[in-house]
């Protein structure tokens, strides 16, 4: 082909475009879309959980073995508050309190994962419930496990931001990106509210 | 392509070595190159899956034929269906979207260029994983075992007991990974359309193509992910001993059907909506009129997206649902025909009173209108549950959905190829070969798929590898197979046209069709940066405004 020809730009005669042309932030829109897609995945797994409630051909049943994890639920839900506060601190360039709140978020998320690990250990070793025991085991480990997987991924990303923050690379300029990550964390928390309701309230 | 690539970068004099060219294509994050990679990759798989279809048609040529074994026949229809949906239709439509959307909304690239490359390579790898099953489907036991569970892989066929070895796992993983790629591509398209439009391009001024890709991408987010979830459950069943679809432990095979079709039916609309998008760009340009009823077209599309999410169980009338469920899915399925009908009328309204130019893209577009209408009508027939009880799993169904997918989607894709090829390559596709391609393909299409309806009405079940003589199916199957060969010849003409015109085609210039959307304002092929300065638009047809400053659209919208 020949060299690049001159480009004409169609500037239309009646240019009534608003002088302040602004569109939504692509990071936020992208994360919203991702959250919609994830919600659909969780919906299907929740539907499977509800569909198979009480259909196990053998024990143990949820009523026998599940204990409501109130403390760890409070940990996870309050981590939503701390991450929100952390992001507002970052936007005000208060780096130190940002890092402190961010670390607190990771600790709370980590506590939640510890709680899940304890629950699984108890179910497996004391009650002999594994994913292949019965339909309850199948759906319980899939749903709670899918959520725990998302918490783990979130914790890894939070830890990356913490390391970057400790080396002084997370500043006001990065607050929009950190905000996008916090959207994911809020989503993980909201999913837990659903999982909690389905598994520990309705499911028993 | 090398010379082209150079032109995009301006006046470099020394040609790159082929290693440099390959490296540039493999590592590219340019939306145009990724779009082309998607399209070329899909064309490769189109040929492969087409050959699989021909194998089936040769086998069914006459009664008691033994061209292939029953096992191979099962593998052929499984691979044909899976490939055509996941590795031809999806990537080719994402390819066109990738290439066109940024150009049409006045952006320099997609919102997330690296995510874009990631989506493509996920799709690419998953296609090759699927085809590796021909070599490694039985693990170390032997060779030559592609998946044979059908493209919807009903439980319990996929259980370990009935599907030993790894062939079903290749299918599961390929479909799962390509699903992740599609979701990533959809996220990217939405973010691009929502956040990257040039100044002045309000939602009401977007080209319809952008609107329709936005709708389609939203559908991908909530339509494809149920399948991903179901595939994860299937993997858990096969590898962790879970019981989701294990009927012996109280699991439900019907649940898999629901999950599959919650994906499966929206998928049809995910595929057809971009084709509506091509129609909505091509028909106005060749009718020399603006699109008729732009806001209604947008509303109808969004309406289709909503309604099509609640029609899935019309694939399951024969499973034995209760009459309330049957009635619900019957009504929703018929209701989805209403917005679709509105769209057809709007395209006809666009053509009505226009100065229609019967160029190859327009020929394919007109054939699309006829064939898609018939496909929709047989769809309405089967939406009636009692009719479906009679004809479900027969060749009538095969004829119906091939009318949608070949008569609708593939014809629209050919129209899009002839329409945008000049923009992509800077050369026109040969009009003579194009006409030959069109008439051969129309002929082959109708010879293949029209008689299939009658085979179905005469009771021929789908997915049978052979049949008894004297049931009235012999002549029909012979005709159908002849039609398939004619289609293959037409595709060959198309491929020859694509290759020949790349070097021999007439120079296209910027705007060969005298069109109105932004992609025609830049050189053909477009420079890597698309727009030297970001355009500003004041109407739905910015190029019309430029060409007719005395009477711009912006005065009326």
Cβ atoms < 10 Å from Cβ of B46: 21
Place of tokens 């989805």: B336
Which residues in chain A have their CB less than 8 angstroms from residue B536's CB? 11-12, 15, 17
Tens digits of residue pLDDT in B430-441:
999 999 999 999
Over 50: is that where the pLDDT of A1 sits? no
Mean pLDDT of the B379-408 span: 95
Residue B194: pLDDT band (50, 70, 90) is: very high
pLDDT number for residue A12: 47
What part of B 532-551 touches A (C-beta under 8 Å)?
Answer: 532-539, 542-543, 545-546, 549
pLDDT number for residue B15: 84
pLDDT number for residue B193: 97
User: How far is the C-alpha of B117 from the C-alpha of B194, rounded, in Å?
Assistant: 20
pLDDT number for residue A72: 97
Q: How wide is the angle at C-alpha B437 spanned by C-alphas B431 and B441, nearest 5°?
A: 150
What's the sign of the alpha-carbon dihedral B551, B554, B555, B557? positive
Residue B557: pLDDT band (50, 70, 90) is: confident
Q: How is B230-257 classified by DSSP, letter by letter? A: HHHHHHHHHHH---TT-GGGT--HHHHH
CB distance B194–A24 less than 8 Å? Answer: yes
Tell me, what DSSP letter sits at residue B166? Answer: S
The first and second tokens of residue B60, run together, are 């069914």
The CA-atom distances, in angstroms, between B28 and each of B106, B375, B423 are: 20, 39, 20
Cβ atoms < 10 Å from Cβ of B161: 9
Mean pLDDT of the B12-39 span: 91
Mean pLDDT of the B257-265 span: 96
Q: What is the pTM of this model?
A: 0.94
Q: How wide is the angle at C-alpha B220 spanned by C-alphas B215 and B225, nearest 5°?
A: 150
Q: How is B345-386 classified by DSSP, letter by letter? A: HHHHHHHTTS-----HHHHHHHHHHHHHHHHHHHHHHHHSHH
pLDDT number for residue B329: 96
Mean pLDDT of the B364-374 span: 97
Residue A8: pLDDT band (50, 70, 90) is: very low
The CATH homologous superfamily for domain B2-555 is Cytochrome c oxidase-like, subunit I domain (1.20.210.10)
Across chain B, mean pLDDT equals 93
Cβ pair B284, B294 in contact under 8 A: no
User: How far is the C-alpha of B352 from the C-alpha of B440, rounded, in Å?
Assistant: 27
Q: Which of A21, A29, A135 sits opposite B251 (nearest CB)?
A: A135
Over 70: is that where the pLDDT of B3 sits? no
Q: How wide is the angle at C-alpha B325 spanned by C-alphas B322 and B327, nearest 5°?
A: 105
Residue A204: pLDDT band (50, 70, 90) is: confident
Instruction: Please give the backbone phi and psi of residue B206, each rounded to the nearest 5 degrees, phi first.
Output: -65, 145
pLDDT number for residue A19: 60
Mean pLDDT of the B158-173 span: 90
User: For residues B528-546, b (16+ Cβ closer than 10 Å) or e, as one string?
Assistant: bebbeeebbbbbbbbbbbb
Nearest C-alpha neighbor of B347 from the set B394, B400, B283, B405:
B283
User: How far is the C-alpha of B445 from the C-alpha of B483, rounded, in Å?
Assistant: 7
Over 50: is that where the pLDDT of B6 sits? no
Mean pLDDT of the B95-106 span: 97
pLDDT number for residue A5: 40
User: How far is the C-alpha of B62 from the C-alpha of B482, rounded, in Å?
Assistant: 12
User: How far is the C-alpha of B489 from the C-alpha of B169, rounded, in Å?
Assistant: 35
Mean pLDDT of the B30-46 span: 97
Which residues in chain B have their CB less than 8 angstroms from residue A129's CB? none
Tens digits of residue pLDDT in B509-555:
999 999 999 999 999 999 999 999 999 999 999 999 999 999 999 88
B501–chain A nearest CA distance, Å: 14
Cβ pair A90, A170 in contact under 8 A: yes
Over 60: is that where the pLDDT of A11 sits? no
Please, is B150 exposed, middle or buried when counting C-beta atoms within 10 Å of its C-beta (0-12, 13-18, 19+)?
middle
Q: Which residues span the domain enclosing A45?
A: 28-202
Mean pLDDT of the B38-60 span: 96
CB distance B229–A40 less than 8 Å? Answer: yes
**Which contiguous run of DSSP H or E holds residue B52?**
helix B31-59
A110–chain B nearest CA distance, Å: 25
Tens digits of residue pLDDT in B440-478:
999 999 999 999 999 999 999 999 999 999 999 999 999
The first and second tokens of residue B132, run together, are 């590796």
What ipTM did this prediction achieve? 0.92
Share of chain B above pLDDT 90, in %: 91
Q: How wide is the angle at C-alpha A109 spanned by C-alphas A106 and A110, nearest 5°?
A: 80
Asked whether residue A82 is assigned to any structural domain, the reply reads yes
Asked whether residue A8 is assigned to any structural domain, the reply reads no
Residue A24: pLDDT band (50, 70, 90) is: very high
Over 80: is that where the pLDDT of A59 sits? yes
The first and second tokens of residue B433, run together, are 């070969």
Asked whether residue A14 is assigned to any structural domain, the reply reads no
Over 50: is that where the pLDDT of A55 sits? yes
Mean pLDDT of the B12-41 span: 91
B470–chain A nearest CA distance, Å: 47
pLDDT number for residue B290: 95
What part of B 401-430 touches A (C-beta under 8 Å)?
Answer: 426
Instruction: Please give the backbone phi and psi of residue B311, each rounded to the nearest 5 degrees, phi first.
Output: -120, 0
User: How far is the C-alpha of B162 from the C-alpha of B526, rounded, in Å?
Assistant: 52
| Total domains in the fold of chain A | 1
Share of chain B above pLDDT 70, in %: 96
The first and second tokens of residue B245, run together, are 């679809």
User: How far is the C-alpha of A88 from the C-alpha of A22, rounded, in Å?
Assistant: 23
pLDDT number for residue B399: 97
The first and second tokens of residue B246, run together, are 């294990």
CB distance B236–A142 less than 8 Å? Answer: yes
Mean pLDDT of the B258-284 span: 97
Over 90: is that where the pLDDT of B13 sits? no
Tens digits of residue pLDDT in A94-137:
999 999 999 999 999 999 999 999 999 999 999 999 999 999 99
Residue B166: pLDDT band (50, 70, 90) is: confident
Which residues in chain B have their CB less than 8 angstroms from residue A49's CB? none
With an 8 Å Cβ cutoff, is B113 touching chain A?
Answer: no
Domain residue ranges of chain B, discontinuous segments joined by +: 2-555
Helix-helix angle B225-240:B253-287, to 10 degrees:
150
Residue B265: pLDDT band (50, 70, 90) is: very high
Nearest CA in chain B to A140: B242
Place of tokens 């064309």: B43
The first and second tokens of residue A1, run together, are 């082909």
CB distance A56–B250 less than 8 Å? Answer: yes
Tens digits of residue pLDDT in A148-171:
999 999 999 999 999 999 999 999
Asked whether residue A13 is assigned to any structural domain, the reply reads no
Over 80: is that where the pLDDT of B278 sits? yes
CB distance B250–A44 less than 8 Å? Answer: no
Which residues in chain B have their CB less than 8 angstroms from residue A18's CB? 199
The CATH number that applies at residue A49 is 1.20.120.80
Asked whether residue A169 is assigned to any structural domain, the reply reads yes
Q: How is B100-132 classified by DSSP, letter by letter? A: HHHHHTT-SS-S-HHHHHHHHHHHHHHHHHHHH
Tens digits of residue pLDDT in B208-248:
999 999 999 999 999 999 999 999 999 999 999 999 999 99
The first and second tokens of residue B172, run together, are 């599961």
CB distance A10–B518 less than 8 Å? Answer: yes
User: Which neighbouring-strand residues pair with B507?
Assistant: B427
Tens digits of residue pLDDT in B279-291:
999 999 999 999 9
pLDDT number for residue A18: 53
Q: How far apart are the first and last CA of chain B?
A: 41
Nearest CA in chain B to A18: B200
pLDDT number for residue A7: 41
User: How far is the C-alpha of B192 from the C-alpha of A26, rounded, in Å?
Assistant: 7
CB distance A1–B195 less than 8 Å? Answer: no
């Amino acid at each position: 082909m020949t060299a690049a020809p001159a480009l004409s730009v169609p500037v239309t005669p009646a240019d009534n475009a608003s002088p302040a042309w602004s569109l939504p932030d692509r990071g936020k829109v992208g994360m919203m879309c991702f959250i919609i897609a994830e919600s659909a995945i969780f919906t299907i797994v929740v539907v499977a959980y509800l569909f198979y409630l009480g259909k196990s051909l053998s024990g143990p049943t949820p009523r026998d073995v599940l204990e409501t994890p109130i403390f760890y639920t409070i940990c996870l839900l309050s981590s939503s508050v701390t991450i929100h506060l952390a992001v507002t601190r970052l936007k005000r360039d208060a780096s130190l309190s940002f890092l402190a709140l961010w670390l607190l978020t990771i600790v709370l998320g980590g506590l939640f994962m510890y709680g899940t690990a304890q629950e699984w250990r108890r179910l497996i070793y004391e009650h002999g419930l594994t994913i292949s025991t019965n339909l309850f085991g199948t759906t319980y480990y899939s749903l709670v496990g899918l959520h725990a997987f998302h918490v783990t991924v979130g914790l890894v990303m939070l830890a990356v931001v913490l390391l970057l923050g400790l080396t002084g690379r997370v500043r006001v300029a990065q607050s929009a990106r950190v905000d996008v990550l916090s959207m994911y964390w809020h989503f993980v928390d909201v999913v837990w509210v659903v999982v909690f309701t389905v598994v520990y309230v309705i499911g028993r | 392509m090398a010379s082209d690539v150079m032109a995009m970068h301006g006046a470099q004099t020394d040609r790159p070595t082929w290693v440099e060219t390959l490296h540039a294509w493999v590592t590219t994050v340019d939306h145009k190159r990724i779009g082309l990679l998607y399209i070329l990759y899909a064309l490769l798989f189109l040929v492969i899956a087409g050959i699989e279809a021909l194998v089936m048609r040769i086998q069914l040529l006459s009664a008691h034929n033994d061209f292939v074994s029953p096992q191979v026949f099962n593998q052929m229809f499984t691979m044909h269906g899976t490939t055509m949906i996941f590795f031809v239709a999806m990537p080719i439509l994402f390819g066109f979207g990738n290439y066109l959307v940024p150009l049409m909304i006045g952006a320099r690239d997609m919102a997330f260029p690296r995510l874009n490359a990631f989506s493509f390579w996920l799709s690419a790898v998953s296609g090759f994983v699927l085809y590796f099953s021909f070599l490694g489907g039985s693990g170390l036991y032997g060779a030559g075992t592609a998946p044979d569970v059908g493209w919807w892989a009903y439980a319990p066929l996929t259980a370990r007991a009935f599907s030993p070895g790894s062939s079903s796992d290749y299918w599961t993983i390929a479909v799962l990974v390509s699903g992740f790629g599609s979701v990533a591509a959809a996220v990217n398209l939405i973010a691009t359309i929502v956040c990257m439009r040039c100044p002045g391009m309000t939602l009401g001024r977007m080209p319809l193509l952008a609107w329709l890709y936005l709708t389609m991408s939203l559908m991908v987010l909530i339509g494809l992910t149920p399948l991903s979830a179901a595939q994860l459950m299937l993997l858990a069943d096969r590898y962790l001993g879970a019981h989701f679809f294990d009927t012996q432990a109280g699991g439900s095979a019907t649940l898999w059907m629901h999950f599959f079709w919650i994906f499966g039916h929206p998928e049809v609309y995910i595929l057809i909506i971009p084709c509506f998008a091509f129609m909505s760009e091509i028909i106005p340009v060749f009718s020399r009129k603006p699109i008729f009823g732009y806001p209604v077209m947008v509303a109808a599309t969004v309406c289709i997206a909503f309604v099509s999410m609640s029609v899935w169980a019309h694939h399951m009338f024969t499973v034995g649902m209760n009459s309330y469920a049957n009635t619900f899915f019957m009504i929703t399925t018929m209701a989805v025909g209403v917005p679709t009908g509105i769209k057809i009328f709007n395209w006809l309204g666009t053509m009505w009173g226009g100065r229609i130019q019967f160029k190859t893209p327009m020929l394919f577009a007109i054939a699309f209108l006829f064939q898609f209408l018939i496909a929709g009508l047989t769809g309405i027939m089967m939406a009636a549950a009692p009719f479906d009880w009679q004809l479900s799993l027969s060749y009538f169904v095969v004829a119906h959905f091939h009318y949608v997918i070949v008569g609708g989607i593939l014809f629209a894709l050919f129209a899009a190829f002839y329409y945008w090829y000049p923009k992509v390559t800077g050369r026109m596709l040969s009009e003579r070969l194009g006409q030959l391609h069109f008439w051969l393909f129309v002929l082959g299409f109708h010879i293949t798929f029209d008689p299939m309806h009658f085979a179905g009405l005469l009771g021929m079940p789908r997915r049978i590898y052979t049949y008894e003589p004297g049931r009235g199916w012999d002549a029909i199957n012979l005709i159908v197979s002849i039609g398939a060969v004619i289609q293959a010849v037409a595709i060959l003409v198309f491929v020859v046209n694509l290759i020949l015109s790349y070097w021999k085609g007439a120079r296209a210039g910027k705007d060969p069709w005298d069109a109105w959307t932004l992609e025609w304002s830049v050189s053909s092929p477009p420079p890597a940066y698309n727009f030297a300065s970001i355009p500003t638009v004041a109407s739905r047809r910015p190029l019309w405004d430029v060409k007719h400053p005395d009477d711009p659209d912006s005065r009326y919208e």
